[in-house]
Amino acid sequence: MEISKQNEIPRAVDSLVSKVLSGDLNPLEVYITIKKIEEALKQAKNHLQDLTIDEATKYGQKSFTYADTEITIKNSATRYDYSEIPEIVAKELELKALKDKHKSAIKHSIVDTDTGELVQPPIVKGGREILSVKLKKS
């Protein structure tokens, strides 16, 4: 199997979009197909991750050029788990309760029993309309 050249991929995608815009293809069908391709590519990428890192380490450098790309071997972001620190867990629960109280002030006026002041509602920013596509497992 021959892998397409990098510049051929955007051309093929542009052609597909043009066909949708010109009314030759159903946008919903194309969108669903793109979603299926995304999922298949994500699975392929995950399956190849370790082999690809092994291959890249053969070049003996953390960063190098391969084909028409810049390859860099690096560690992913460090993550911290605070779930075993009672002080932080308590503060996070306290923050959640505070946010919920202010969120409730959107629907009706709430008076803070400690201060006697009105609870300020948060600024509400509506999201844009999106399409959610869930693929059936086959």
pLDDT tens digit sequence for 20-61: 999 999 999 999 999 999 999 999 999 999 999 999 999 999
CA distance 86 to 6: 51
pLDDT at 4: 60
C-alpha dihedral, 32 to 38 to 70 to 75, nearest 10°:
140
Among all chains, which residue has been given the structure tokens 């969120």?
Answer: 103
Q: Band of the pLDDT at 75, cuts 50, 70, 90?
A: very high
The reported pTM is 0.68
Among all chains, which residue has been given the structure tokens 């542009």?
Answer: 14
Report angle CA 92, 98, 100 to the nearest 5 degrees: 105
Identify which of 74, 54, 53, 56 has the alpha carbon closest to the alpha carbon of residue 64.
56
